[in-house]
A and B are shown apart, each in its own frame.
Chain A
Amino acid sequence: QQPVQSPQAVILREGEDAVINCSSSKALYSVHWYRQKHGEAPVFLMILLKGGEQKGHDKISASFNEKKQQSSLYLTASQLSYSGTYFCGTDLSGPSSGSARQLTFGSGTQLTVLP
């Protein structure tokens, strides 16, 4: 039930691009993306809801393909501040307000941006 993230780790130079993938064996209602710096709590980046939308946040964007049960996070022109571990969290609950809404997280992708 845990989503699968790939790659497990990636090393970039400043200014390079990266893609992190998240796939699920179950139908997804939404996908969350979080970034965690060493020794800190995960920080929310964005949510993508069922409907195949794409979202952007500065030079970080994401897509959600509900048919393939996959989401991808795109980091463009990486900055040193992008370093950290990226987690996708999947919500299988559905739209009703009575749903439990628990998130199941992947094992993370460690991104290192070098100067």
Chain B
Amino acid sequence: NAGVTQTPKFQVLKTGQSMTLQCAQDMNHEYMSWYRQDPGMGLRLIHYSVGAGITDQGEVPNGYNVSRSTTEDFPLRLLSAAPSQTSVYFCASRTGTANSPLHFGNGTRLTVT
């Protein structure tokens, strides 16, 4: 089992460029989410999805778009990158039951210059 797979691992963008961070899981989890991690800020929820075709905003959604066309995939799009989006991004998934843990991908380190 691969678990949660994120690509790329590292990315450097110039201000204004767009890109998509990929996330795929092979555990048939209903729930998927994207977090960003900045020093001293912990993990902040960007967007989440409770199933294919259903997405919702988290704490810090501005500047990001998501879609969920399949159960397996949950890409995160940066429409016009800004230096404030320099961060480490984690995708995570879990089942819909109360006692299920979050499974994290290995993260994408994004730098916007």
Interfacial residues of chain A within 63-94, with CB under 8 A of chain B in the complex: 87, 89, 91, 93
Are B42 and A30 in contact (CB-based, < 8 A)? no
Question: Given the complex, which residues of B lie within 8 Å of A29, measured CB to CB?
Answer: 98
Interfacial residues of chain B within 3-52, with CB under 8 A of chain A in the complex: 31, 33, 35, 40-45, 48, 50
Are A41 and B106 in contact (CB-based, < 8 A)? yes
Question: Given the complex, which residues of B lie within 8 Å of A60, measured CB to CB?
Answer: none
A42 CA to B45 CA in the complex, in Å? 14
Select B102's contact among A95, A103, A106, beta carbons within 8 Å: A103
Interface size in chain B (residues, C-beta < 8 A): 28
Question: Given the complex, which residues of B lie within 8 Å of A2, measured CB to CB?
Answer: 42, 59
Are A32 and B59 in contact (CB-based, < 8 A)? no
Question: Given the complex, which residues of B lie within 8 Å of A44, measured CB to CB?
Answer: 101-103
Are A100 and B50 in contact (CB-based, < 8 A)? yes
Residue B58 CB within 8 A of the other chain: yes
Residue A58 CB within 8 A of the other chain: no
Closest to B94 in A: A101
Question: Given the complex, which residues of A lie within 8 Å of B103, measured CB to CB?
Answer: 44
